[in-house]
Amino acid sequence: MYQPIIDFIRYLYGDAPFIGLHEPRFLGNEKAYVADAIDSTFVSSIGEYVNRFESMLQDLTGAAGAVATVNGTAALHAALVLAGVGRDDEVITQPVSFVATANAVAYCGARPVFLDVDRHTLGLSPDALAEFLATGVELRQDAPHNRTTGRRIGACVPMHTFGHPCQIDRIAALCSDYRIPLVEDAAESIGSTFRGSHTGTSGLCAALSFNGNKTLTCGGGGAILTQDAALAKRAKHLTTTAKVPHPFEYVHDTVAFNYRLPNLNAALACAQLEQLDRFLAAKRRLAETYADYFAGLGVPFVNEPPHARSNYWLNAILLPDRKARDVFLAETNADGVMTRPLWQLLHTLPMFRGAQTDGLANAQWVADRLVNIPSSVVPAFLGDGTPERPAVAASDHPRPSSPVGAAPRLGTKA
């Protein structure tokens, strides 16, 4: 049924037996920088590449401080600690996310509250947040508390899903009104902007990820972003086991974390970051090619939201229902084209099933329909004369002979 779509994806990526969902591209100074880091003997968390990477992130994002960490989950955990989230607090977030978002909340001894997403951003809905705050939260002694549970609301963590920015301006304003620290999960959105500002720069702090499947990778890797220079200094201290500088003594002044990024990984990260503009341009061209092709099928392609410029980390389509979704997943994966459904909604996982929700109608609607399709940088789209594949015109390729069913509407429902 979906063979023409499989053929189209194979035309883009070539005839390899297996086409991954998002494979890294190492096309610049990666080997040279890693070799240089090895030659320096500074291969752990102290080294010039760590400093260089943090400086490059500040220049890219406009953040006052960037603190490199061993992975994105560590960055988010530390960010929540910096926000003051503690045991038995609650953290407002969304059910559409990788499990690390809720895990980081649990690491603090806190409890997630899952609110619905927007269909057109796939991120936390400001309308759902406004409704929850107006009806379910009250200020006690200048601190927000959940009317139902009596617990303090320690933070709000929206996630920029697949690199598409959520309506972070409205979310930030609501959090400010209710004195709730805003911690952005920007793990997937390096290079994405909303109203001209890089994701991760609208709240108290944010977390980035450079895992092996991200737009940029250094094997693992993450970073904390903040616009508060003093908080950045505190972040570096907490992620470096709270070690107090001393010529020879081991002095640590609080319980902290061994979360700093090794210099070896940072060397790889610097080389990847040098290529970000090329990668983003190629991924945008891929997204445009997909959008054109799927428009001819009547299948909605998930485009960047209004006022946003997405990195298109993972491209996604929406099928008519869960049955069509499952058939598509089975056929593509059986043919060696890796596709994936949305993560299981976080409130359905056994460790979070007791969490408070607001019904999550949009999240369930999306989960029933969304499929991620191969999103690696296509070499021919890099614009550097790489000859692997010819320029692609989506209209030149066949459409499925069998109908894929009535296409769902993305809409703008909150």
Q: Is the pLDDT of residue 157 over 90?
A: yes
- Does 78 map to a domain? yes
Indicate the residue among 211, 245, 273 that finishes a domain: 273
294 and 111 in contact (C-beta within 8 Å)?
Answer: no
Over residues 395-406, the mean pLDDT reads 48
Cα–Cα distance, 209 to 381 (Å, whole number)? 24
Do 161 and 267 lie in one domain? The reply is yes
| Model pLDDT for residues 120-151, shown as the tens digit of each residue | 999 999 999 999 999 999 999 889 999 999 99
- Does 344 map to a domain? yes
Do 11 and 46 lie in one domain? The reply is no
Cα–Cα distance, 55 to 46 (Å, whole number)? 15
Cβ neighbours for 139, distance < 8 A, ≥ 6 positions apart: 145, 178, 179
Over residues 61-87, the mean pLDDT reads 98
User: What pLDDT, on the 0 to 100 scale, is given for residue 395?
Assistant: 52
Counting Cβ atoms within 10 Å, is residue 229 exposed (0-12), middle (13-18) or buried (19+)? exposed
- Does 412 map to a domain? no
- Does 60 map to a domain? yes
Cα–Cα distance, 391 to 202 (Å, whole number)? 38
Do 266 and 315 lie in one domain? The reply is no
Do 238 and 145 lie in one domain? The reply is yes
Cα–Cα distance, 117 to 122 (Å, whole number)? 6
Q: Is the pLDDT of residue 405 over 90?
A: no
Which CATH number does the domain housing residue 111 bear?
3.40.640.10
Q: Is the pLDDT of residue 52 over 70?
A: yes
Do 311 and 211 lie in one domain? The reply is no
In terms of residue numbers, what domain contains 194?
Answer: 30-273
161 and 367 in contact (C-beta within 8 Å)?
Answer: no
Q: What is the mean pLDDT of the chain?
A: 93
For residue 35, name the pLDDT band (cuts at 50, 70, 90).
very high
Pairing verdict, β 90-93 and 183-185 = unpaired
Do 245 and 354 lie in one domain? The reply is no
For residue 389, name the pLDDT band (cuts at 50, 70, 90).
very low
Task: Tell me how far CA of residue 21 lies from CA of 63, 310, 341, 374, in angstroms.
Answer: 30, 18, 11, 4
Do 171 and 313 lie in one domain? The reply is no
| Model pLDDT for residues 318-340, shown as the tens digit of each residue | 999 999 999 999 999 999 999 99
User: What pLDDT, on the 0 to 100 scale, is given for residue 397?
Assistant: 55
Do 97 and 180 lie in one domain? The reply is yes
| Model pLDDT for residues 207-256, shown as the tens digit of each residue | 999 999 999 999 999 999 999 999 999 999 999 999 999 999 999 999 99
Total tally of structural domains belonging to the chain: 2
Indicate the residue among 273, 299, 325 that finishes a domain: 273
Do 237 and 296 lie in one domain? The reply is no
For residue 290, name the pLDDT band (cuts at 50, 70, 90).
very high
Do 158 and 248 lie in one domain? The reply is yes
36 and 263 in contact (C-beta within 8 Å)?
Answer: no
Question: What does the block give as tokens for 109?
Answer: 């001894």
- Does 411 map to a domain? no
Cα–Cα distance, 122 to 116 (Å, whole number)? 9
Please state which of the ranges 69-78, 237-246, 291-300, 384-393 shows the lowest mean pLDDT.
384-393
Over residues 168-175, the mean pLDDT reads 98
Do 21 and 81 lie in one domain? The reply is no
- Does 51 map to a domain? yes
279 against 142, higher pLDDT: 279
Which CATH number does the domain housing residue 288 bear?
3.90.1150.10
Over residues 164-188, the mean pLDDT reads 98
- Does 84 map to a domain? yes
Proportion of the chain above pLDDT 90, given as a percent: 90
User: What pLDDT, on the 0 to 100 scale, is given for residue 134?
Assistant: 98
Do 163 and 244 lie in one domain? The reply is yes
